Amino acid sequence: MKPIHTSRAALIGLPLLCLSLYGFRVVDATLQDDPPPPRPVPEGPAPKDKEPVVIPVEWRLSPDAEKRRAWNALEGQAPPALDSLVDWTSPESQTWAGLKGKVVLIDMWATWCRPCMEGLPKINALHNAYPDDLVVLGVHVQRGYTKLSMETTAAKKGMTWPLAGDPRSIFASALGVESIPGYYLVDQEGVLRVAGAHPNHLADIVGAYLGPPKEAAAHVVKDWPPYTEKNLFATNDLRGKAAPDVFVEDWFSKEPDTKDKVVLIEFWTTSVRSSRERIPTLNTMYMDLKDDLVIIGITADKFERARGYWYSRSTRFFGGTDRSKTMYDSIGIEAQPHSLLISSDGIVRWQGFPGDTQDPLTTNLVRDVIAKDKAERAKREAQPKPAPEDGETPKDQPKPEVKGDGTDPRGGK
């Protein structure tokens, strides 16, 4: 990573929605008192050589006795076919035959459903915790469905699992969906095991079938991300090439130390909603990976406007302005947000729109780059260094020290 140049240094609870719209209600299940179901729920045949999985009744929703009986009747049966769903965001349409051997969590949702959006962190956490054994299927209900709105929301919210629309409500009707969000679990044998799962017990239910998540320490070192054919929304493709110098005119935060760190630079603007909505995602990523990752948000907006929004969002990572568009022009940025992920040797390893549906910039991808970067750095450090010639002083260029523990890079002018 080249030195950072700077011209001047500078420094949840929402009301419950209960709507009845086109047959779907939005409910916050966490605020309900769930009566027990009228009878024990059959679990169906267990896989060979395995004990049957027993799901406690309190891990299921019971909005009323009649609805619980209808859901009970679905459990132990094959789930509804997926062929009525349209506009899959995955490269290929999903089928139950193709999903056999995986646990599948069905998420019935909509772009307009606030509790659905508030439940996404739990879904994302499960998606990341079981990357090889769990498949999340997000099915958008009929009301308000358009392919564009689904894909736009997916990009903004980092929904990288397969999504599809149910415009004729065939799939939702077969599952007895009357309110959203709605969660259903299908086991490895392709049997619907839990209908109407309680959102507070999704991790418990998935864990009952898959066990505890694997330790993060067991992260497998992968190669650098492949350079996917896509629209970069920039005239210069820098992937695999040296990153441009980081140029910041005025910092909102203190200046970061990038030595031996992977650096994520995100170009953003207050005038684009998808840019603004990236800040919570980046906050979470930074707090999870701050020992190995530096995130720098750069904007060409006016300093006071950008800094005001920056602090209003309790931004945890680093940032500042490039009003002269020095970096923008060197990359040829055509749309924002635009991201560069740079390894510690100064090479761009990922570039583009972070919400790209085919090649998204996910936390798992960043973890992979960090793991690969550590492995490559260890190889470089293990190589013997040539001895200095007589009278020559070894060249040493330490980075300037940054005061503080790094948990909150916000400074201020």
CATH architecture of 32-214: 3-Layer(aba) Sandwich (3.40)
> Is pLDDT of 268 > 90?
yes
For residue 242, the tally of other CB atoms under 10 A from its CB is 13
CB-based contacts of 285, cutoff 8 Å, min separation 6: 264, 293, 295, 363, 366
> Is pLDDT of 47 > 80?
no
**Residue 174 CA, distance from chain mean position:** 30
- Higher per-residue pLDDT: 13 or 228: 228
CA distance 350 to 342: 7
User: What is the pLDDT confidence band of residue 62, given thresholds at 50, 70 and 90?
Assistant: confident
Q: Look-up: residue for tokens 């020559």? A: 392
Q: How much is the pLDDT for 103?
A: 96
The answer to whether the 5-11+222-382 and 32-214 domains have the same CATH topology is yes
Q: How much is the pLDDT for 326?
A: 95
The stretch 141-152 carries a mean pLDDT of 92
Is the pTM of the predicted complex or chain greater than 0.85?
no
Name which of 27, 15, 18 is nearest 115 in CA terms: 27
Please name the fold of domain 5-11+222-382.
Glutaredoxin (3.40.30)
The stretch 9-30 carries a mean pLDDT of 40
CA distances from 271 to 24, 113, 180, 301, 302 (A): 33, 24, 31, 9, 11
CA distance 146 to 118: 21
Q: How much is the pLDDT for 296?
A: 96
The stretch 101-112 carries a mean pLDDT of 96
**Residue 129 CA, distance from chain mean position:** 12
In the chain, what are the domain boundaries? 5-11+222-382, 32-214
Can you read off the two tokens belonging to residue 246?
């980081």
User: What is the pLDDT confidence band of residue 412, given thresholds at 50, 70 and 90?
Assistant: very low
Q: How much is the pLDDT for 387?
A: 65
196-216 pLDDT tens trace? 999 999 999 999 999 988 754
> Is pLDDT of 29 > 60?
no
